[in-house]
Amino acid sequence: MLNNQDGIGSMYSVSASTWTQCLNYAESTGKEIVQMAKESNIELILNQPNLSDSFTVSIYDDVTKNTTSYIIFDSKNNVLNWLTNQSDKQIQSLQYIQREFINL
């Protein structure tokens, strides 16, 4: 995750094979970087990666007793439909974040 401040604030999810690639991309934007963080243990679902609409979701599985976190790039309706169709699961959190997905 790369946050930068460009007057209105922009957030990007950058997919890179190395941390160095991510840093190089961040520096190439020419924008002031406010925060960078490595996201791990998060499932990335790229249904519509060209949208700047993304949702961060945590779901507790009643069967396995595990919580799984997701970043989903998709429309609100599709995400809500997907969540509605989950069985034996509880939504722990759901957050909308406008961000751009960058695949290096």
Yes or no: say if 14 and 104 are a contact pair by the CB < 8 Å rule.
Answer: yes
59/62 Cα distance (integer angstroms): 9
Say what the pLDDT of residue 1 is: 46
Count how many domains the chain has. Answer: 1
Burial of 88 (0-12, 13-18, 19+ CB in 10 A): exposed
**Residue 10, domain extent:** 2-103
Phi, psi of 83 (to 5 degrees): -65, -40
pTM above 0.95, yes or no: no
What's the pLDDT band for 61 if we cut at 50, 70, 90? very high
More confident residue, 26 or 68: 68
